[in-house]
Structure 1
Amino acid sequence: MSIFSVQLLTGLAYGMLYFMIAAGLTIILGVMNIVNLAHGTLFLLGSYIAFTFISQDFNFWMALLLSVVITGVLGIIIERLLIQRVYGKELEQVLLTFGLTFIIADTAKWIWGTEMQTIAVPALLDSSISIGSMVFPVYRLFVVLVGCALAFLLWYFESRTRIGAIIRAGVDDRTMVAALGINVGVVFTGVFAFGASLAGLSGVLGGPLIGMYTGMDSDILVTSLIVVVIGGLGSWKGSFIGAILIGLIETLGKVWFPSLSMLIVFLLMVAVLLIRPQGLFGREVA
């Protein structure tokens, strides 16, 4: 029983990590209707930025804060200089953001090399708790708590704040929101920066769990897209449930069916698309 409990908590930890990056991706898609294929590289960049600061004797928490801020600023630059030019042009969005993945990934290789790196667990969380005859790292519990806290903050932000109401209205009718005197462009820039910051946050928190390696951005992007598709396009609530499902299936699948874990994930996605094409929490399109 203790072994199952440890695997369950491990699956939740990875699920929360997937949720943090998928939430940013689905928010950008739901609010701005932007297919951002460069989201995975922002995850990778967040990891490497934090790794660099920690290597320069910054503590983990300061490196985390700086990484989130820098990826957010990078998101503003990308949205202002590039994304604004392709609003409403899905093919151009895909090609532009896909090209950005190569530019950012190759730049990361040039700066940090291709060897696998990892971020050390902060001293405050570098311990374990006992679960029966097994032990479980405190850091993974911390990741679970951060993911749950983010879900609560997104709920509060969406349903209890004026900005959340503006964003919801912008999703339904952008023209009407603009007619009310609200600068939709500023809102969109803020949303994109927020999504980029979430990618940076998840990249730093994922550093001690999965490290940093060549091609990680593509792996994370694929998993995030699966989470978004299962949960429903534009629904952070769907991403929360979808990420937990994927995290648990991947973790438990690697224990019981190590060669079939990813196949099970894709089968789940296919099943959801067949039964409910808009995803678990997606809205039906009339």
Structure 2
Amino acid sequence: MSLILLIEQVLNGVQSGIMLFLMAAGLTLIFGVMGLINLAHGSLYMVGAFAAAAVAAATGSFLLALVAALAAAALAGCLIEMTVIRRLYDRDHLDQVLATFALILIFSEGTRFLFGSFPLFLDIPSALSGPVMLPGGIQYPLYRLVIIGVGLAIAAGLFLLIARTRIGIQIRAGEADREMIAALGVDIAKLYTLIFALGAALAGLAGALVGAIQSVQVGMGEPVLILAFVVIVIGGIGSIKGALIGALLVGLTDTLGSVLLPLLFANFMEASAATSVGSSLASMSIYILMAGVLLFKPTGLFGEA
């Protein structure tokens, strides 16, 4: 493998990791602060993607599509938090899993009813299409670089929100002792709704950004949700820094594994068999990484006991 191809694959892994971070950041906030297992988080990713595709088709504006994705996912998050999720905070995790799994089915069938079963397509805006020349003669798609930049900017904003603002103090306090901050006069119901809407908006934005790279279809959020759970287990539940580091590790492991492992096995077997075996092992490598982290640090890289 040439050095240029390796650098391109590293950038692909970083871009994939950034998208996983947008999913995992909201998920780790919701689980860390509320103690809620939300299997429907992937459905909010799908809502953002479909909202963006529909608005882009109607207006031709990619910027409006992103705004629509944020708004639709945040609104959907608020609605399900106030109508369903709010009744689950004091229930055990099995009830939460069953209720949020039901939400997956509702969102999937509702989306299929509104948009049909065929995939939609969201075009990359012309200003962001095409490659850009990087140092060393590397050509890389401009849109993917923009995704990396947007994701890193959002990560920095989340760090500042959690560490430097009054809302961030309330979020951290709610994670430590929700009864105490309620006794101090903080409206815990509004705080929970805000956190859930923020997590939903991040998932919706991720869906819209990825929707311009791949097709937008029903059920697209569930595979990403599984990887997002892997990310927060690796990074540590409730840690934004852990979500970012874990997402980058997962993105790089998946992308580089899917490229390097088939090349490695090509030295010992036919190309088609090497590709099959290498791809299978690449999919396994993410979970091997998770198991390795948990073996040495059961709380995750940045999690607390």
TM superposition score category, shorter chain reference: over 0.9
Equivalent residue, structure 1, for 2:108: 105
Which string of whole-angstrom CA distances, capped at 9 and with x for unpartnered residues, describes residues 103-150 of structure 1?
101222222233333311112211211244542101100111111111
Aligned counterparts of 2:218 and 2:137: Cα–Cα separation in 1 = 36
Q: Choose which of 286, 290, 293 in structure 2 pairs with 1:269.
A: 290
Q: Check conservation: 2:46, 2:219, Cα contact below 8 A.
A: no
Letter in 1 for 2:106: I
Equivalent residue, structure 1, for 2:79: 77
Aligned counterparts of 1:115 and 1:267: Cα–Cα separation in 2 = 35
Equivalent residue, structure 2, for 1:251: 255
Aligned counterparts of 1:52 and 1:129: Cα–Cα separation in 2 = 28
Q: Choose which of 114, 117, 133 in structure 1 pairs with 2:117.
A: 114
Q: For the structure 1 residues 66 and 127, does the alpha-carbon distance in structure 2 shift closer, same or farther, using more than 3 Å as the test? A: same
Aligned counterparts of 1:211 and 1:243: Cα–Cα separation in 2 = 22
Query: 5+ residue gaps in structure 2?
Result: 262-278
How much does 1:152 deviate? 0.6
Aligned counterparts of 1:83 and 1:208: Cα–Cα separation in 2 = 31
Higher RCO by CA contacts (8 Å cutoff, separation 6 or greater): 1
Aligned counterparts of 1:274 and 1:3: Cα–Cα separation in 2 = 33
Taking the TM superposition and a 5 Å limit, the aligned residue runs for 1:124-135 are 124-131=127-134, 132=136, 134-135=138-139
- Residue 299 (structure 2) pairs with residue 281 (structure 1): no
Aligned counterparts of 2:82 and 2:27: Cα–Cα separation in 1 = 18
Taking the TM superposition and a 5 Å limit, the aligned residue runs for 1:28-107 are 28-89=30-91, 90-107=93-110
Aligned counterparts of 2:77 and 2:184: Cα–Cα separation in 1 = 26
**Higher CA-based Rg:** 2
How much does 1:40 deviate? 0.4
Query: 5+ residue gaps in structure 1?
Result: none
Aligned counterparts of 2:242 and 2:192: Cα–Cα separation in 1 = 21
- Residue 165 (structure 2) pairs with residue 158 (structure 1): no
Alignment RMSD (CA, Å): 1.3
How much does 1:273 deviate? 1.7
Which string of whole-angstrom CA distances, capped at 9 and with x for unpartnered residues, describes residues 238-265 of structure 1?
1100110111111111112233211101
- Residue 145 (structure 2) pairs with residue 141 (structure 1): yes
Aligned counterparts of 2:129 and 2:148: Cα–Cα separation in 1 = 15
How much does 1:70 deviate? 1.6
How much does 1:88 deviate? 2.2
Aligned counterparts of 1:170 and 1:41: Cα–Cα separation in 2 = 26
- Residue 6 (structure 2) pairs with residue 4 (structure 1): yes
Aligned counterparts of 1:232 and 1:88: Cα–Cα separation in 2 = 23
How much does 1:227 deviate? 0.7
Q: Secondary structure of the equivalent of 1:209?
A: coil
TM-score, normalisation: structure 2? 0.90
Aligned counterparts of 2:137 and 2:64: Cα–Cα separation in 1 = 35
Q: Secondary structure of the equivalent of 2:280?
A: coil
Aligned counterparts of 2:105 and 2:116: Cα–Cα separation in 1 = 15
- Range with bigger deviation, 68-77 or 115-124: 115-124
Q: Check conservation: 2:53, 2:216, Cα contact below 8 A.
A: no
Q: Choose which of 203, 224, 230 in structure 2 pairs with 1:226.
A: 230
Aligned counterparts of 1:248 and 1:209: Cα–Cα separation in 2 = 18
Count of equivalent residues: 284
Percent of residue pairs bearing the same amino acid type = 40
How much does 1:93 deviate? 1.1
Aligned counterparts of 1:73 and 1:213: Cα–Cα separation in 2 = 20
Aligned counterparts of 2:250 and 2:30: Cα–Cα separation in 1 = 21
Aligned counterparts of 1:116 and 1:83: Cα–Cα separation in 2 = 29
